[in-house]
Structure formats: C-alpha cells, structure tokens
Amino acid sequence: MTDSTTARDLAAPSGRGGATSALRVAVLDRDSGFIQVLGKRMDRLDWEHRVLASPVPADAVLSMRLSALIVDLAVLGGQAWEWLERLCGELPQLGVVVCTGPSTVAQRVRGLRLGADDWITKPCHPEEVIARVQSVVRRRRRPASRGTSQPLLAGEVEIRVDQFQAFAGGASLDLTRREFELIELLAAAEGRVLEREEIYSRLWGYTMVRGDRSVDVFVRKLRQKLEKASPRWRYIHTHFGIGYRFAAESLDVDATDIDVPPSVPVGWTPGDERELARAQEGRELAPGAL
C-alpha cells in the first residue's frame, strides 16, 4: 500500500467490538516486512489502516480522522524532531506511537517530551505494537468521555476538556498537548496534592526513572503561561519533596482584610513579618522599632 491506499474505506468505520476494537491507524514506515505483518494483525482486528510513504502536514493527518499514528522516525531523517513536535502540538487528540530502531535514552526522552505517547524499539513483536496502540487510545479517550461535563473553573481559568483547551479571561492559553493533560489532571484533583511519580505515570504511562525532571519541566512551562495570562492569580503550588497542588489563590490582598494583633501600634506595616512575629509573642512594640 501507499499513502493513497487504504485497507478499509476510511469514511466508513466499523462498529464492531469494544472501545478500542475498531480503530483508524496510519503507519509511517518503509519496512515492508513489518508493515505486512502488522497490517495482517490489524485486519484481523477489523481496524482501518493505511500506510504513509512520507510525512504529511498536520491538516492532512487531521482529515484522516485517525485514532493513532505509528511512526518510524528514521523515515523522517533530519526533520524528525521538528515534524513530531509540530504534529503533536497541533493534534493533541491524536495518539502517537514511535516504533523505530535502536535509540539512546536521550532520544527516547526527547521524543516523549515532544509529545509522543509511547516508544517501541525494533525489532518488536506486532502483538506488542497492537497492545501499545490500544493502551494509548484508551488514555486518549478518557478525557473525551467527559466531553459533556461542565468546564473546570478556577480563578480566571476555564478548562474545557471537550475542546482540549484552557482559557484565561476568555483567551486561549495556547497549551501543548502535554501541558493541557497536566493542567486537566491537576485541576481535576480538586486541591489534592499529586506526587510527581503519580503525575508521571498518569501522563506518560511509565514508572518515573530516578532523577527524571520531566514533570518539573512541564509544570514550570505551564506555570509560566498561567502567570503571563492571569498575573493576579496563583494556580500551581509546589509541595517540596512531594509534588504539586492546583488551587486558584488571588494575589490581590486588601490590607484592611488582614487581621492585625491588637498589641501592634498604629503605623505598623503588614509586610513586616519580624514585627508581626514579635507582636504575636506579646512584646510591646514602639513605632519603627526593629
């Protein structure tokens, strides 16, 4: 098959099977043996699939209405990373499984950070590829299953799971897929602290390797976008050595709302924590005393 041929009519998806039984999958690869074996396995599952001979623009992939894409990055050459990042950023609902030859840890980490949902090293068994695709699609569909639910609201932020977007003051935060998954996960926890290991396993599907800072990197990027779009609010709170908590807290504090101990004289400045500490200890303060 070529990029213009299909194993099934992609315009008429099958209704057989369960949640991941009838999928639309594209394979970007040039290994004819691998494509043939994998294609036969997908045929038996009644999956609709096609083979892409070359990388295609994100809008073309969108028109295919795919459930998942299996891609060998070796086919893309020097444009592999740029294409992967652009595709994952523009199509956050698409499950992307990299299935390529031997690679370094740095390459695998980079691919996953750019938005790939899974990474498989060739040679591999087609049954493993099928299982990985099914797992990715299940994770992709979990947010979609809540598409009719109410938006998540916090401060000036509105998270629309059905649209895979988050807004601040009505303006889109322009989040990548992984950033949206992160804010949706944190907000859905309703103020509960999520450990880094839990965040990693739920977003990446793996056990976090010791020393991996992926969660911290994405939290920092998300926090920066939130602070820029909604500077009067703080949303992501760090619990050092544990993880992160999402809760909207206004940074606009009226001094008249601050409870000042009665022993503090007139002229006390609310920001002077040293004087506040002494006041709470019952010590007599003189105006301006240090």
Regarding pTM above 0.75, the answer is no
Question: 245 and 135 in one domain?
Answer: no
Phi and psi, residue 15, nearest 5°: -105, 10
Domain-terminating residue out of 122, 143, 164: 143
Question: For position 149, what pLDDT does the model report?
Answer: 60
Residue 10 belongs to a domain: no
Question: For position 5, what pLDDT does the model report?
Answer: 38
Least confident of 83-87, 210-214, 220-224, 238-242: 210-214
Question: 156 and 104 in one domain?
Answer: no
Mean pLDDT confidence for 237-260: 76
Gyration radius from the chain CA atoms: 25
Name the band, by pLDDT with cuts 50, 70 and 90, for residue 260.
very low
Least confident of 4-18, 87-101, 156-170, 212-226: 4-18
Name the band, by pLDDT with cuts 50, 70 and 90, for residue 213.
confident
Question: 109 and 50 in one domain?
Answer: yes
Question: For position 26, what pLDDT does the model report?
Answer: 92
Name the band, by pLDDT with cuts 50, 70 and 90, for residue 255.
very low
Query: Could you give the strand order of the β-sheet that contains 233-239, starting from the edge strand earlier in sequence?
Result: 194-195, 243-250, 233-239
Residue 16 belongs to a domain: no
Question: 89 and 179 in one domain?
Answer: no
Please give the tally of structural domains in the chain: 3
Instruction: Compare 275 and 48 and report the one with higher pLDDT.
Output: 48
What CATH number corresponds to the domain at position 48?
Answer: 3.40.50.2300
Domain that holds residue 239: 152-250
Question: For position 152, what pLDDT does the model report?
Answer: 85
Name the band, by pLDDT with cuts 50, 70 and 90, for residue 206.
low
On the question of pLDDT at 160 being above 90, the answer is no
pLDDT digits (tens, 9 = 90+) for 43-80: 998 898 999 878 888 778 887 888 899 999 988 888 89
Q: Which residues contact 176 (CB under 8 A, 6 or more apart)?
A: 88, 89, 92, 115
Residue 9 belongs to a domain: no
What CATH number corresponds to the domain at position 183?
Answer: 1.10.10.10
pLDDT digits (tens, 9 = 90+) for 77-126: 888 999 998 888 888 778 899 999 999 999 988 898 888 889 999 888 98
Residue 74 belongs to a domain: yes
Residue 91 belongs to a domain: yes
Question: 117 and 50 in one domain?
Answer: yes
Phi and psi, residue 206, nearest 5°: -130, 165
Percentage with pLDDT > 90 across the chain: 26
Domain-terminating residue out of 143, 163, 183: 143
Distance CA 184, CA 205 (A): 16
